[in-house]
Chains A and B, each alone.
Chain A
Amino acid sequence: MALKQISSNKCFGGLQKVFEHDSVELNCKMKFAVYLPPKAETGKCPVLYWLSGLTCTEQNFISKSGYHQAASEHGLVVIAPDTSPRGCNIKGEDESWDFGTGAGFYVDATEDPWKTNYRMYSYITEELPQLINANFPVDPQRTSIFGHSMGGHGALICALKNPGKYKSVSAFAPICNPVLCPWGKKAFSGYLGTDQSKWKAYDATHLVKSYPGSQLDILIDQGKDDQFLLDGQLLPDNFIAACTEKKIPVVFRLQEGYDHSYYFIATFITDHIRHHAKYLNA
């Protein structure tokens, strides 16, 4: 579990670092980004995990979202992992942008040839937190998670599958109901096989229906001019309906004129950091 620092840059009084390590779950070298706020110099800080969307690495979020100022002010350690195993030499992993490399979909694959490496769910919920807790000044009791698009899906399922593990969850334009959208169908059938009943275990809308009801405040921002929303890849309405029915608190904000890009994320990232800080610093 040796960590190798790839880079370190001072940012808003804290440090934006990138590390590399050998992942047990994923059987490959993985990079992740860590932002250490100024407060981390003197004490343990809450930790917030960011899950990126399709095609992204750890770099997209840290270089484009402009989250640092808010994280610095609220004193949050922000972890941004990669989106999939890399360099595993699995046939077909680089054939398309929405499957394989850069498209781990935060599931534990059960199908060959993916099941050895594509265990992003376990990596995000088990291995990475252990690594972070062991190596950085964080308070494991205060953990939250958020993400964008596929990462939004990942954040939602991580939170919904682990009641109490995350203090709060939020998402930008998440894939809310993957079993019903083209991206999800493709990925889930590849990683999980054709038995659609297994898919539901990684579908936020389905997970809500069985969520035991522990307090979870969900904030979702969605650009109204998001092409993927119009393409039916995100399906937030289904998720909202399920949450309304199950009385899971969601504030869903359909933002006029915004698309799926990091410009959209950067616009509302402060709201999301504050949303998490409210629970993490309570």
Chain B
Amino acid sequence: MAPGPRRGSACEQAFYDGISGCWQPSGVSTTAEDIRTKIKDYKIPFDSHFPNQNETRNCWLNYLDFHHCEKAMTTSEGGDVSMCEWYQRVYKSLCPVSWVSAWDDGRAEGAFPGKI
């Protein structure tokens, strides 16, 4: 169950709040500034979808979500890739660098196991 905006949605009104694990009501959009405040000092806040010590799934799903979001924003009209920044910050912070580079290479070669 991936957190974050639904695939293919415009995402311009509601924004997923990673902290409480629930949708913010429309009209309360989190800006880039807020993101920076929330993950000051590179601390990713607690996500209740991943309560345990093992962060593998957290890393994996945020990596997937960023790329889903990026694909949706770039292929739809009026899509704004900056909306995807949250996921990118989370995965870049959480995921081992070697995994990220292996996955990036995999995506380039068509060998990435996840569906994007």
Question: Do A and B originate from a single complex?
Answer: no
B interface residues (Cβ-Cβ under 8 A, vs A): none
